[in-house]
Amino acid sequence: MANPCEVEVLNNALSGIGVDEKSLVSILTKSQNEHKKSMRKGCSKFFLEDERQFERWNDSAIKSLKAEFKLFKDVVVLSLMHPWERDARLLKKALKKGPPHYNVIVEIACTRSSDQLLGARKAYHSLFDRSIEEDLASHVKGSERKLLVALVSAYRYEGPKVKEDAAKSEAKALLNAIKNNNGDHKKKAMEEDEVIWILTTRSKPHLKVVYEQYKKISAKTITEDLEVELLLKETVECLCTPQTYFTRVFDTALREDAKEDAKKALTRLVATQEDVDLKGIAAKFEDKIKERVKGAYKDVLLGVLADDRK
């Protein structure tokens, strides 16, 4: 007969984020058929008894387990890939999966350095025999097209020099565009030429100043005013306040009810962001990681975010 605590160990090993490989190994190697039978009876989360009193795996449980096992594999594959190939493949996948995944395109286009983004574009040529711009432009049908193509084509200046006056007037222009479109449902702010050229050609230091200037002339920040246009909001976030964006990804992924995409987002961040800043955020979430994440995946997360990583 299986120990009640073995049942609990099994439950734990398969819950949360990732899987506790070590515990699973010890359960499997020590269990005989009788053990396994009573474990099936005890873990109602994963097994159910159908109308013919046949104990079987819960199909949706298998599906989510598959995703959990995959987390480790994904983080390994992503981390070992050349950053350019990685970004090119992530972009292609996001494009293929459609509008709910376009935020990945925004994330990559806005959080990479100019040369990294360029490298991703080159890698895309090599991998797919097309340019990412062509594919985006011909596959994205909606109002996001202009914004996404322009974001991905950017080769921003990376120096610190900023023109205060230009930043001030551009903050004003953004405010106008956003206010004008809140009532008018025909055109979204993300389709406005002014918004697009400011957000997709100006340097990041410049945009950070625009963000500050905007706060002075509006009651809210740009991101608060853009609640209705999620993609545009994330664009501004990634460009001006990446910390907020990263924190949110961590937070969403580490919740009880975290969905597959949220955990994939976490994997993606961990494997692709090399910023020192990421460590600061991770430190805040270290306890949550220790509590909710299991096994090899947890070790990777903690190791990657540890102090001695370069």
164 is a contact residue toward another protein (CB under 8 A): no
180 is a contact residue toward another protein (CB under 8 A): no
- Is residue 158 marked as binding? no
Pick the closer one to another protein by CB: 71 or 106: 106
220 contacts 211 by C-beta, under 8 angstroms: no
Q: Closest by alpha carbon to 209, among 164, 177, 245? A: 164
Number of residues that bind another protein (CB under 8 A): 31
Token couple for 169: 């007037």
Q: Which residue stretches of the chain are H helix?
A: 4-13, 21-30, 33-42, 59-80, 83-97, 102-111, 114-128, 132-139, 145-152, 164-183, 193-201, 204-217, 222-225, 230-240, 242-253, 260-272, 276-292, 295-304
Q: Helix (H, G, I), strand (E, B), or coil: what is residue 55?
A: strand
- Is residue 18 marked as binding? yes
Distance in angstroms (rounded) separating the CA atoms of residues 87 and 98:
17
| Minimum distance, C-beta of residue 162 to another protein, in the bound complex (Å) | 10
Binder among 22, 96, 99, 155 for another protein (CB under 8 A): 155
The structure tokens 């990412």 sit at: 132
Binder among 50, 51, 59, 129 for another protein (CB under 8 A): 129
Binder among 40, 86, 112, 121 for another protein (CB under 8 A): 121
Pick the closer one to another protein by CB: 52 or 141: 141
Token couple for 57: 């795996």
The structure tokens 């050349």 sit at: 82
Contacts for 168 with CB less than 8 Å, ≥ 6 apart: 213
| Minimum distance, C-beta of residue 197 to another protein, in the bound complex (Å) | 4
Cα 144 to chain center, whole Å? 19
Binder among 137, 173, 258, 302 for another protein (CB under 8 A): 137
| Minimum distance, C-beta of residue 128 to another protein, in the bound complex (Å) | 9
277 is a contact residue toward another protein (CB under 8 A): no
Stretch that binds another protein, among 37-45, 152-160, 244-252, 269-277 (CB under 8 A): 152-160
Distance in angstroms (rounded) separating the CA atoms of residues 9 and 20:
9
Distance in angstroms (rounded) separating the CA atoms of residues 208 and 215:
11
Binder among 150, 173, 258, 302 for another protein (CB under 8 A): 150
- Is residue 98 marked as binding? no
Binder among 36, 145, 172, 248 for another protein (CB under 8 A): 145
Q: Helix (H, G, I), strand (E, B), or coil: what is residue 300?
A: helix
Pick the closer one to another protein by CB: 13 or 232: 232
Distance in angstroms (rounded) separating the CA atoms of residues 174 and 167:
10
| Minimum distance, C-beta of residue 120 to another protein, in the bound complex (Å) | 10
Binding pattern to another protein, positions 197-236, x when CB under 8 A? Answer: xx-xxxx---------------------------------
Residues in touch with another protein (CB under 8 A): 118, 121-122, 125, 129-131, 133-134, 137-138, 145-146, 149-150, 153-159, 161, 166, 193, 197-198, 200-203
Annotated binding site for Ca(2+): 16, 18, 68
